[in-house]
């Protein structure tokens, strides 16, 4: 499956690996798994990581990451878990310095921005594909690689609970545990640890919740002033959709948060009836059927107008999807 990418790896020495900006567990997990595997092959390889949540600072090797390309040119860029060129952590300049580019991903494919890609939209995590890639490379999956891949799979499957989870996902998780993945510690550090500020942020998100379409749509907005007053970083202010969508009858949960830059990040989750990858793409973003997002563009309009456009469009989709 990965022959072409493996050929590219064989022909390259100076390699960068990059996930997406605002990285989640799958982005970081797949980036570092590829990084460690290629290092074992003797490649001159560097992982790229831009601003990330404090949640991930416990991870080994994380300090080895670069946030930009140091060379004028390099041989190969391996992109993982990155649905579009605009969202790649390595940035436009870093991307353009690559002689060749490849992608290993599981997002709804918008357009091809690399020379060679392996994309499987059916898989719940890029880390699952990367597991297969590393096996095909014939590199032994040691406990560090296993831990990164396990983290990627665990986070993107909601701890193996999302419907995207496949029998193969469990099978690979078993192999990773066999290889020494520190699954219990990873779960504790990622799923069961939060700052006090984050707890207050959750309270605010719930207090500000709005309901639309017979409460099938739940919406909350948090401004940056509130987020920073709780001493929560941009990256740590994620995940509020989880609470909204947990309420029974919710079809779409929407969380809009103002970033320190003033940008409005829209995060959406669907119960399954509405394809929100389509919604996100209409508004210039992307993602998966049940988890998608975009940056709200309020140039030439207002937040209220854009919010209404989004809710109206989702209303139409709700009607369509129920009728269909
Ligand atoms: P999030 O709500 O940030 O967890 O994002 C959920 C999914 O939506 C991710 O897997 C991303 O692929 C996708 N996504 C979020 N924001 C954007 C964006 N601005 N552009 C494209 N895809 C996005
Ligand atoms: Mn991701
Ligand atoms: Mn992913």
DSSP for 254-319, written as a single string: EEEEE-TTS-EEEEEEE-SSS-HHHHHHHTT-EE-SSEEEEEE--TTS-HHHHHHHHHHHHHHHHH
- Two tokens, residue 51: 């601003």
> What is the number of the ligand 1 atom nearest to the C-alpha of 107?
12
Q: Which two tokens stand for residue 201?
A: 């942020």
- Output the residue whose Cα is nearest ligand 1's atom 10: 287
Residue with CA nearest ligand 1 atom 11? 287
What's 124's DSSP letter? S
The predicted pLDDT at position 41 comes to 98
In angstroms, the Cα distances linking 2 to 82, 169, 276 are 17, 18, 30
Q: How many angstroms separate the CA atoms of 240 and 200, rounded?
A: 12
**Helices 167-178 and 183-191: angle between axes, nearest 10 degrees:** 110
- Given a contact cutoff of 8 angstroms between Cβ atoms, the answer to whether 34 and 43 are in contact is no
Distance (Å) from CA 30 to ligand 3 centroid: 9
**Between vectors from CA 228 to CA 224 and to CA 231, what angle results, nearest 5°?**
155
Does the CB atom of residue 291 touch ligand 1 within 6 A? yes
pTM of the model: 0.85
* Sites in the chain below the pLDDT cut of 70: 109-111, 321-324
pLDDT at 234: 81
- The pLDDT value given to residue 323: 57
Q: Which ligand is nearest to the CA of 108?
A: 1
Question: How many A from CA of 163 to the centre of ligand 2?
Answer: 17
DSSP sequence for 144-189? HHHHHHHHHHHHHTTTTTSTT--HHHHHHHHHHHHTT--HHHHHHH
Q: How far is the CA of 190 from the centre of ligand 3 (A)?
A: 16
Pocket probe for ligand 1: among 285, 288, 289, the residue whose CB has the most ligand atoms within 8 Å is 285
Whole-number Å distance between alpha carbons of 61 and 63 = 5
- pLDDT at position 83 is 83
Distance 20 CA to ligand 1 centre (A): 10
Backbone dihedral region for residue 309 (phi beyond 0: left; psi -120 to 50: alpha; all else: beta): alpha
6, two tokens? 């493996």
Convert the pLDDT of each residue in 182-227 to its tens digit. Answer: 999 999 999 999 899 999 999 999 999 999 999 999 999 999 999 9
**Residue-wise pLDDT tens digits, 160-170:** 998 899 999 99
pLDDT of 112: 85
- Pocket lining: 85 vs ligand 1, CB cutoff 6 Å: no
């Amino acid at each position: 499956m990965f022959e072409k990418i493996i050929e590219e790896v064989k022909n390259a020495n100076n390699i960068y690996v990059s996930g997406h900006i605002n990285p989640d567990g799958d982005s970081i997990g797949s980036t570092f798994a590829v990084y460690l595997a290629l290092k074992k092959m003797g490649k001159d390889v560097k992982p790229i990581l831009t601003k990330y949540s404090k949640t991930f600072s416990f991870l080994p090797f994380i300090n080895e990451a670069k946030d930009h390309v140091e060379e004028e040119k390099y041989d190969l860029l391996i992109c993982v878990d990155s649905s579009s060129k605009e969202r790649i952590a390595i940035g436009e300049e870093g991307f353009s310095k690559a002689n060749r580019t490849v992608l290993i991903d599981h997002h709804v494919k918008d357009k091809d921005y690399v020379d060679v890609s392996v994309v499987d939209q059916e898989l719940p995590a890029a880390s699952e594909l990367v597991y297969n890639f590393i096996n095909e490379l014939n590199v032994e999956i040691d406990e560090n690689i296993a831990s990164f891949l396990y983290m990627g799979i665990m986070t993107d499957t909601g701890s193996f609970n999302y419907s995207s989870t496949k029998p193969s996902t469990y099978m690979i998780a078993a192999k990773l545990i066999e290889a020494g993945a520190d699954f219990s510690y990873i779960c504790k550090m990622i799923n069961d640890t939060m700052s006090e500020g984050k707890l207050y942020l959750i309270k605010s998100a719930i207090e500000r919740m709005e309901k639309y379409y017979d409460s099938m749509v739940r919406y909350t907005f948090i401004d940056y002033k509130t987020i920073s007053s709780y001493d929560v970083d941009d990256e740590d202010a994620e995940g509020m959709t989880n609470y909204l969508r947990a309420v029974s009858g919710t079809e779409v949960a929407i969380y809009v948060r103002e970033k320190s830059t003033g940008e409005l990040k829209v995060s959406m989750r669907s119960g399954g009836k509405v394809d929100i990858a389509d919604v996100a793409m209409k508004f210039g973003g992307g993602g998966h059927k049940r988890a998608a997002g975009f940056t709200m563009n309020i140039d030439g309009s207002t937040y209220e107008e854009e919010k209404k456009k989004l809710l109206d469009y989702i209303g139409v989709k709700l009607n369509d999807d129920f009728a269909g």
